[in-house]
Amino acid sequence: MAIKIEETPNPNARKFTTDSLIFRGDGSVSVMPGQTSEHAIMNELMALDGVDNVFGFQNFITINKLPNADWEALAPKVEGLLSENGY
């Protein structure tokens, strides 16, 4: 399965799009610091060092990193978690 990583207008955010559906329905899912989600993947992503918050809808998740985090180190970890979870 392929995971496409896209830059966004926000340099601290990247969009990770998968070939498969991550979230069913028409509602979005977001997790801010100190929160948890009913979706395990969102909690796993929030636990990564450098992640500030996450937003997901259908087949993509947008990761917002902390300003001092580095995409070169963080993006492969996000991609790995998505792959490990079958996305």
Per the prediction, the chain carries an average pLDDT of: 96
User: pLDDT tens digits for 29-64?
Assistant: 999 999 999 999 999 999 999 999 999 999 999 999
The region, left, alpha or beta by phi > 0 then psi within -120 to 50, assigned to residue 31 is: beta
Query: With 70 as the cut, is the pLDDT of residue 87 above it?
Result: yes
Quick one: 3-82 is in which CATH superfamily? Scaffold protein Nfu/NifU, N-terminal domain (3.30.1370.70)
Instruction: Please state the pTM of the whole predicted model.
Output: 0.94
What is the pLDDT, as a whole number, of residue 1? 59
What is the pLDDT, as a whole number, of residue 29? 97
Measured in residues, the chain has a length of: 87
Q: Which two tokens stand for residue 79?
A: 């991609």
